Amino acid sequence: MILPWRQVCGDKPVPSAVIIDSRSCQSAPTCFGRGFDGGKKIKGIKIHLAVDKYGFPLGINISPANRHDSRGIIPVLHQLAGRGFKGTALGDLSYQGQRLSRAGEALGITIKPSAGGHGGTFIPEGIRWVVERSLAWVSRYRRLNTIFERTEAHLVAFIEIAFTSILSRRLVRLATPGVSA
pLDDT tens per residue, range 63-78: 999 999 999 999 999 9
Q: Give me the pLDDT at residue 180, please.
A: 52
- Predicted local distance difference test score (pLDDT) of residue 88: 93
Q: Is the dihedral of CA 35, 40, 41, 43 positive or negative?
A: negative
C-alpha dihedral (105, 64, 68, 114), degrees to nearest 10: 70
Kindly indicate the confidence band of residue 6, based on its pLDDT and cuts at 50, 70 and 90: confident
**Percent of the chain at pLDDT above 90?**
40
Mean pLDDT score, 47-72: 92
Task: Provide the pLDDT for residue 129.
Answer: 86
Dihedral of alpha carbons 28, 30, 33, 34, sign? positive
Given a cut of 70, is residue 119 above it in pLDDT? no
Q: If you ran DSSP here, which 8-state letter would residue 126 be given?
A: G
Q: Are 112 and 104 in contact (CB under 8 A)?
A: no
What is the maximal distance between C-alpha atoms in the chain?
A: 57
Domain ranges (residues) in the chain: 15-171
Kindly report the backbone phi and psi dihedral angles of residue 171, in degrees, each rounded to the nearest multiple of 5, phi listed first. -65, -35
Amino acid at 52: D
Task: Kindly tell me if the per-residue pLDDT of 56 is higher than 90.
Answer: no
Average pLDDT over every residue of 11-37: 87
CA distance 38 to 55: 28
Whether the pLDDT of residue 114 is over 90: the answer is no
CATH of span 15-171? 3.30.420.10
pLDDT interval class at 108 (50, 70, 90): very high
